[in-house]
């Protein structure tokens, strides 16, 4: 199944998670007016028996067209990805209906991170440039917190160009 | 008082916080071996009445030599800064002795973020390049969570070159 990347906007991504960027006006200016704070932009949820942690992921860069044959989700917690370089990355998500349905692909702009809401189906981390370095804010806990779904028909994701 | 930037290493920064980078071997390879996870690298502490949040900060870029006349700390929570571009930034910290003492300045390498431990004296966010964009993982709560200390003698921070 062919999918074309959509640009990542807060509205389009709202069913799946939060866009972390500095679009619009800051909620507050701090540090004598030299810094804008865009406050508390992610819906974090680590369940009753988990806690927040910050990990660093380093993933191999991919290229378009990209073939995706596996989606996963974390039933026990949200998961945020903050790119540590100003490079776009690919974000693949799907709705749930006893498994992933209606997949969509988003291409971030430089300066955008994302937070997957708890339980959102998504593809694995797919940077499109080296070094593929991300800070990840997700649930630290003792449960496996992972469901995987192999796709009968792989997704072939390409840009709109 | 003149201060020379030190390179940011986990050992040198340990009294003040955590370095968030991909130094060394990953704790785990995930995603069929295509991604390294450097697991749970920050000592997060949001107190009993706070919670974790992700905000985005956009700060005006500064240059060296940089004059610092204010240090601050957050008594109720840790605060992590993840740069969203591969640019170094300046990290100013101090020990506590009923106020900040023995200040030090660190210069990050591209791909390094930091987490200030709860209560650590630090300077305001000082990127050295545009766009000055950072994801900030800190405490969301109802207390002011801010102490400021104006320095009688400003710090003048420069590189070692």
Contact present, A161 and A65 (Cβ < 8 Å): no
Predicted structure pTM score: 0.97
Give domain limits for chain A.
2-158
Are the Cβ atoms of B140 and A40 closer than 8 angstroms?
Answer: yes
Which percentage of chain B shows pLDDT scores above 90? 98
pLDDT tops 90 at residue B81: yes
| Lookup: tokens for B148 | 């400021």
Question: Which residues face A113 on adjacent strands?
Answer: A20
**pLDDT > 70 fraction of chain B, expressed in percent and rounded:** 99
Nearest chain A residue (CA) to B85: A85
Judged by CB atoms closer than 8 Å, whether chains meet at B111 and A133 is answered as: yes
B52–A55: do the CB atoms touch at under 8 Å?
no
**B residues 4-43 lying closer than 8 A (beta carbon) to A:** 20-22, 26, 30-31, 34-42
Predicted-assembly ipTM surpassing the 0.85 threshold: yes
Residues 57-116 of B with CB under 8 A from A: 57-60, 80, 82-86, 110-111, 113, 115
CATH topology assigned to domain A2-158: Jelly Rolls (2.60.120)
- Alpha-carbon separation of residue B114 from A15, A135, B61 (angstroms): 31, 11, 18
Segment A44-79, tens digit of pLDDT = 999 999 999 999 999 999 999 999 999 999 999 999
How distant is the alpha carbon of residue B147 from its chain centre? 16
Question: Could you tell me which of A149, A7, A16 has the C-alpha nearest to residue A95?
Answer: A16
């Amino acid at each position: 199944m062919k999918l074309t990347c959509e640009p990542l906007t807060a509205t389009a991504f709202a069913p799946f998670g939060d866009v972390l960027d500095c679009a619009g006006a800051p909620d507050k200016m701090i540090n004598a007016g030299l810094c804008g704070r865009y406050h508390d932009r992610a819906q974090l949820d680590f369940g009753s028996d988990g806690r927040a942690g910050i990990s660093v992921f380093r993933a191999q860069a991919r290229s378009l067209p990209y073939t995706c044959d596996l989606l996963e989700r974390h039933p026990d917690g949200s998961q945020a990805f903050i790119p540590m370089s100003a490079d776009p990355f690919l974000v693949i998500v799907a709705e749930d209906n006893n498994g992933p349905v209606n997949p969509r692909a988003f291409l971030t702009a430089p300066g955008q991170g994302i937070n997957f809401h708890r339980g959102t189906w998504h593809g694995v981390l797919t940077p499109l440039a080296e070094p593929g370095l991300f800070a990840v804010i997700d649930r630290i806990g003792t449960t496996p917190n992972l469901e995987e779904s192999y796709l009968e028909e792989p997704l072939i994701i390409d840009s709109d160009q």
